[in-house]
Structure 1
Amino acid sequence: MEETTRAYIAGFLDGDGSIVLQLKPRRDYRYGFQIRAVISFYQKHRGRWVLEWLRSQIGRGRIRERPDGIAQYDIEGIERVIWLLELVQPYVVAKREQVEQALTLLSDIRNKEAPSPEEFLEWARRVESYQALNYSKRSRYKAEDVERFLSSKGWLPPP
C-alpha cells in the first residue's frame, strides 16, 4: 500500500474512525469471554462511496448501513486489527495512544496461545482500562464479569 494511502487512512481513523476492544461472552471460548477487536470507519449513507474506496484499499472487512443514516465499515479480528494498526501507526495523531495501547495488548494476546486464567483476567482488565480512552457508551461487560466466571469454575486462587 502506498505511503500516502496509509496516511489518508490514518487521518480518516483519527477523525471518523474508532478502535474498539471489548469483552464479549462466548460459551465456546475457554474462559467464557472473547476479547473482540474492531476498527470502524463511519460516514453518512451518501458518503458510503468513501468507505467502499477504503475497503478496496484495505481489502478486508465489511460495510453495513445502519438505520440511523450512518454507513459503517468494520475490520474485525485481532490479526486484521494488528495488521491495519501497524500500517497506519506512523501517521496517526489524535488516536496515537489508542493505537499504541491496542497494539501492545493485541500483540500480547497473539503471542500467547494458551494463557493462564490469571493472564486472561489481566488482559480483561487491560481491555477495560483501554475503553476509558474512547468516547463511548458504557461497556456492557467488565473485567469483574470475567473474574466472576473464572472464580465460579475454580480457576482462580481464593482472594
Structure 2
Amino acid sequence: MSSPFHNPESVTIKNLESAFAGESMAHIKYRYFAKLCREMGDEATAKVFEDTAEQEILHAFGHADLLFPKANMTPAKALQFAIEGETYEYTEMYPSFRNAAVAEGNDAAVKEIDEQIAESKEHAQMFKAVLEKAAKRFAALAKVEERHAKHYQNTLDKIAA
C-alpha cells in the first residue's frame, strides 16, 4: 500500500501502514463478530462489536489521512493506487498464499484463494476501465475549456484594440 508521498524507508510511515492495516482488520473482524453474535441471538454484544468497529474505522481513516494526504490526491491517483493494490493481490500475494495452501493440503483455503485471485483481477480491470473513461472525459473537457479560453481571449483582444 506504499504511498509515493513519503519516504518508503521511514519507520513512522511503516508504522502508520501497519496501524492502518490493523485498524482496518479490527473493523472487519468486529463486524464479523457482531454478525455471529446476532445470529446467536445476542443483540447486546453484537451492538458493542458494531460500535467498536465504527471507532476502528475512524482510526484507520486517521492513518489513511496521513498516508494519502488529501492535498496530494486526485481521483486518478486513487484509482492508480487501487489498480496497483489489486494487481499485487492477484499476481503476487494470493498466488503465494495459494502455493502454501496447496502444500499444506488445505483445499478450502485453495478454493477461497482462487476466488480472491479472480475477484482481485476483476477489481483491477474495473478500476482500469474507470480510469480510462475518466481520462477520456477529462480530455474532452480540456478541449471544451480550451475553446472557451480562446473565445474569451478573442473577445478580450477585440475590447483591448
Q: Same fold (TM over 0.5)?
A: no
Given the two structures, how large is their TM-score scaled by the length of structure 2? 0.29
Asked which structure has the greater CA Rg, the reply is 2
Higher strand share: 1
Query: Higher relative CO (CA 8 A, sep ≥ 6), structure 1 or 2?
Result: 1
